[in-house]
Amino acid sequence: MEEPLALHPVKLYVYDLSKGMARRLSPLMLGKSTAGTGPARPGPPAASGGHTSIIVHKDEFFYGSGGISSCAPGGTLLGPPDSVVDLGNTEVTEEIFLEYLSSLGESMFRGESYNLFEHNCNTFSNEVAQFLTGRKIPSYITDLPAEVLATPFGQALRPLLDSIQIQPPGGNTFSRHNGQS
């Protein structure tokens, strides 16, 4: 008789890097609130200087200009997340997941591929969430860069913002050898 597969919880950590400043200034600078006009959104919107990561197998995994990194949950210098989104459960084992991350780190999510608006931590979190659970992360997070760039202020700031490299301090760069270096 086959043993049932173990289920592992998958969470999305959402950090507000601006500590609320972007949300307060967005109506003035962007002509609209980054909180949106629809129903209330759980947690701070990612565009308020947001960073996301995936928590699975008792570790936090994230992407920045240094590539894919990992740490204990809440173990970067960002501290605890501003909100946590439950993405469900996965049957993907830790071994298979680490192999998957290794392949992503050598292809789609190399450090030099990072772009603040088009290929960022939210892109990584969305890709990994779909692999683990078949579900995307909330659209209010993934849609925000396009919303910002659609404004005159976003277009004016784009050259400066494109030069920004973000790598939350405190994580360990992911490696093929043992998951962490």
Has 8 been annotated as catalytic?
no
Say whether 64 sits in a helix, a strand or coil.
Answer: strand
Dist. CA 22–CA 12, nearest whole Å = 21
Residue 149, judged by CB atoms within 10 A of its CB (0-12, 13-18, 19+), counts as: middle
Out of 8, 57, 119, 121, which one is annotated catalytic? 121
- Are 54 and 129 in contact by the 8 Å Cβ rule? The answer is yes
Q: Which two tokens stand for residue 180?
A: 């962490």
Considering 8, 51, 57, 119, which one is annotated as catalytic? 51
Separation of alpha carbons 66 and 76, rounded Å: 14
- Is residue 51 among the annotated active site residues? yes
> With contact defined as beta carbons under 8 Å apart, do 148 and 116 qualify?
no
Residues noted as catalytic: 51, 121
